[in-house]
Amino acid sequence: MNTPSLRETARAMVAPGKGILAMDESTPTCGKRLEAVGVENTEENRIAYRSLLLGTPGLGDYISGAILYDETLRQQSAEGVSFPQLLQQQGIMPGIKVDTGAKELALHAGEKVTEGLDGLRERLEEYRGFGARFCKWRAVITIGEFKPSIACLQANAHALARYAALCQEAGLVPIVEPEVLINGAHTLETSYDVTVETQRRVFDQLYRQDVDFAGMVLKPSMVISGTDCPQRAPMEEVAEQTLRCLQQTVPAAVPGIAFLSGGQGDEEATRHLNAMNLLARERALPWRLTFSFARALQNPALKIWQGEPANLDPARKALLARARLNALASSGEYNEALEQQVAA
């Protein structure tokens, strides 16, 4: 494990004014998104869409790294350039999702544990050969009646920690993603309690596995009301309670927090990120607060593109605009006037 190199990469992933593009959708998930805009789920169309995203001129001004799927890491653009090379040409670090998905947790209906540790050491070596600099593993925590269970929290925390240790052994920075799902009628207070408990267990397990906190990036959920909550908390309260949660759970050595958008609307996620950074200016917080968004970055481009070559440039313009707006939010410099200007 090259500790200085890992720490340097982790800091670069959360560099000021930049965030991470998550585009690690599996083939079926990517297919659902394509089909939603009338595009057939073929490899040719997946390549065309990924070429749209990764070939956007100027994307490296706002994006530090991109999380790819196994298929994407091995593909080439229509011009014959591998996707990792295409990223590197823009100064964007290639990353790779390495878990194999969340499966039902035995004896705990409605809860899941993420799998993929078997053979991971060997896969990490292969991914390094393709140019990957960092990895991602997502755990899924559901809020509901008698959920989450201690068994679910502990199983996922342990898996995240073992994954992170293997990544650092291979010289790759782990993105640790314990996602507390937004689905449900739970209140902001419940979201806070569950997120605190989840992250405490995760960092306890990371410590036990000797993971270097300075050589990782945390990708957490924001503390937010459930989508079906009758009285959803306002933006300022989301920002306040999310920062409070981080202060209760995240070691100061961690260089940065790259939030997931987790089912929020495109603008909603950006505004929450900006509100957190405005509050962070007033406090001596030790971490960079940035983004690792998927749909909240990709959606506008996908809706414009719709598989039509003539729509390529407008779609790329839309992606670049959302990347810029979120980069501004990661420094507390976003405002709604800018949003309206971009929409116009």
Question: Active-site residues: which are they?
Answer: 177, 219
Q: Where are the beta strands (DSSP E) in the chain?
A: 19-22, 63-68, 93-97, 102-104, 112-114, 134-141, 173-180, 217-218, 256-259, 288-293
CB atoms within 10 A of CB 309: 9
DSSP designation for 43: H
What's the half-sphere exposure (Cβ side, CA atoms, 13 Å) at 118?
3
Q: Could you give the CA distance from residue 99 to residue 21 in angstroms, rounded to a whole number?
A: 18
DSSP designation for 80: S
Paired tokens of 278: 């405005």
Q: Could you give the CA distance from residue 280 to residue 332 in angstroms, rounded to a whole number?
A: 9
Q: Could you give the CA distance from residue 336 to residue 312 in angstroms, rounded to a whole number?
A: 26
User: Are 20 and 64 spatial neighbours (Cβ–Cβ below 8 Å)?
Assistant: yes
